[in-house]
């Protein structure tokens, strides 16, 4: 059933209702994925990251998920939005603080642009909070559009991005 390889970015910087921490909320969101047709294979180490762009918001907790799904990319994205909504995510202001953000980063190495869905996720190649955990999971991953390896992309990151691996 689960033949398409996915990489998903997950993060938040607000604690969802009913949870003790941001990370606990993210882990609960990951636990919902299999019931919606997304088979989680592995989760990267967790990172704490300063907001991008820089602001006075709380730091984010981020990870990348390796998963598989038989669903088309648009259906995967709809399932991710369903999980976000369950945790109280509303989409009103770009780069706002949030209880949950799950992005479809890569869908089987394909290039897609349809109905508000762009794969690979725009700007993933500029974000330490995506590239470092992605490198942890898949050190040989290649950006489907640029052809650059995740290692090359990490080497080009803006050194001003603040990120630290959680224990």
Find out whether 101 and 11 touch, Cβ atoms under 8 Å: yes
Q: Which CATH number does the domain housing residue 98 bear?
A: 3.30.70.560
Backbone φ, ψ for residue 44 (5° rounding) = -65, 170
How does residue 2 score in pLDDT terms, banded at 50, 70 and 90? low
pTM: 0.93
Give the model's pLDDT for residue 128.
Answer: 95
Instruction: Give the whole-angstrom CA distance, residue 54 versus residue 95.
Output: 10
Contacts of 37 (CB under 8 A, 6+ apart): 69, 70, 71, 75, 76, 79
pLDDT score for 113: 93
pLDDT tens profile 64-79? 999 999 999 999 999 9
pLDDT of the residue at 124: 93
Averaged pLDDT for residues 52-56: 77
**Average pLDDT along the chain:** 92
Kindly state the greatest CA–CA separation across the chain: 44
Count of domains in the chain? Answer: 1
Look up the domain containing 28 and give its range: 4-165
What average pLDDT does range 12-34 have in this prediction? 96
Cis? peptide before 32, omega within 30° of 0: no
pLDDT of residue 95: 62
Q: What does the pLDDT read at residue 26? A: 97
Confidence class for position 102, pLDDT limits 50, 70, 90: very high
What is d(CA 117, CA 54) in angstroms, rounded to the nearest whole number? 25
Using CA atoms, how far residue 124 sits from 66, 128, 148, 157, in Å, is: 15, 8, 12, 11
Give per-residue pLDDT as tens, 82-95.
999 999 877 666 66
């Amino acid at each position: 059933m689960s033949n398409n390889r996915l990489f998903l970015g997950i993060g938040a910087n607000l604690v969802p209702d009913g949870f003790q921490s941001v990370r606990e909320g993210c882990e609960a969101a990951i636990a919902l994925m299999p019931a919606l047709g997304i088979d989680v294979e592995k989760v990267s180490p967790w990172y704490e990251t300063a907001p991008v762009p820089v602001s006075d918001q709380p730091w984010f907790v981020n990870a990348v998920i390796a998963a598989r799904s038989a669903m088309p990319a648009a259906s995967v994205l709809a399932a991710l939005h369903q999980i976000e909504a369950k945790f109280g995510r509303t989409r009103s202001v770009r780069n706002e603080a949030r209880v949950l953000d799950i992005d479809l980063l890569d869908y089987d190495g394909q290039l897609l642009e349809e109905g508000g869905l762009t794969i690979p996720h725009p700007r993933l190649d500029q974000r330490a909070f995506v590239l470092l955990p992605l490198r942890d999971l898949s050190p040989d991953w290649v950006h489907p559009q640029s052809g650059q390896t995740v290692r090359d992309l990490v080497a080009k990151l803006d050194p001003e991005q603040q990120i630290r691996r959680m224990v």
